[in-house]
Amino acid sequence: MSFNTSTQPPIAIIGCGLGGLALLLTLHRRGIPATVYERDASFDARAHLGGSLDLGWKSGQRALRENGLQDEFDKHSRPEGEEMRICDSTGKVHLKLGGEDEEGPGGPPQGKEDIRPEIDRTVLRKLLLDAVPTHLVQWDHALSSVRALGNGQHELTFANGITATCDLLVGADGAHSRVRPLLSSATPQFLGVNGAEISLAPSGGDAAWGRGAPYESMCAMAGRVAAKANGTLEVCVGPGTPQAAIKRFGSVAASGEREG
């Protein structure tokens, strides 16, 4: 029996984010018809939004590897956060993993299976999108309502006036999902907790921060600091960060001055 996969998809996926695209690609490569519906008018609508995420060899990378995208991921990803130090409030180091010190490497050599490379969310989304036929993604389809038809089928009505009928409905449309209410009465709740990340770039010809103890001095104030390969420190500021420390980080970020 023939059918139009844009209006009668056996599987309808709501949301063209990473989860929705990964599922679409997995199904497509195995010959299972499916269609993704996305509220944005095009990929470029929010291409400037989103940070980066790290993918492990056995988790996120596995989904890419089994769909033929491992080489593309390797080309566009980068190692980050492979060194970790846990300090107390005085800055004393109690655990160090990865990296190097005066005695040499902080741990055994790491292979691809041991690290979690970072990739920009927009870049990863584009990789997934380019790997599926364009007609399988229906842009400008904001889901307005869903009506159960029985036998697992659902009728989908979109804001642009188009309707579609599917045999299986998948919600991949984020925290404010239009599909979730079909399964649960749970709704997102804001817990009143905020956080921010401040980038403190090195200056001069030296890429080192703090003259010997950048992690310790920053961790004593902030609690969590990430060092980038170019010498930049990413300071994570949360509810427990002292107000004086937040002002100090802001001053350093604005002026470009260095600690120590």
Assign a CATH topology to domain 1-79+115-189.
FAD/NAD(P)-binding domain (3.50.50)
The residue among 240, 221, 227, 220 whose CA lies nearest residue 199 is 227
The pLDDT value given to residue 111: 75
Q: Are 85 and 224 in contact (CB under 8 A)?
A: no
Q: Are 131 and 146 in contact (CB under 8 A)?
A: no
CA–CA distance, 59 with 257 (Å, rounded to integer): 40
| Structure tokens belonging to residue 162 | 């188009």
Dmax (CA) of the chain: 73
CA–CA distance, 187 with 177 (Å, rounded to integer): 9
CA–CA distance, 15 with 19 (Å, rounded to integer): 8
Q: How far lies 179's CA from each of 40, 53, 69, in Å?
A: 17, 25, 29
Q: Are 116 and 154 in contact (CB under 8 A)?
A: no
The residue among 162, 157, 128, 153 whose CA lies nearest residue 27 is 128
Helix (H) or strand (E) holding 29: helix 18-29
The pLDDT value given to residue 207: 45
pLDDT along the chain (260 residues), means of 10: 59 96 96 96 86 89 96 90 69 71 51 84 95 97 94 94 95 93 89 69 50 50 58 65 58 49
Instruction: Please state the domain extents for the chain.
Output: 1-79+115-189, 82-111+190-260
Q: Are 85 and 93 in contact (CB under 8 A)?
A: yes
CA–CA distance, 180 with 163 (Å, rounded to integer): 19
What residues does 37 pair with on adjacent strands? 14, 138
Instruction: Count Cα atoms within 13 angstroms, Cβ side, for 57.
Output: 7
Pairing of strands 153-158, 143-150: antiparallel
The pLDDT value given to residue 38: 97
The pLDDT value given to residue 103: 46
Instruction: Report which DSSP code applies to 182.
Output: G
Q: How far lies 74's CA from each of 71, 77, 78, 131, 158, in Å?
A: 5, 5, 8, 16, 37
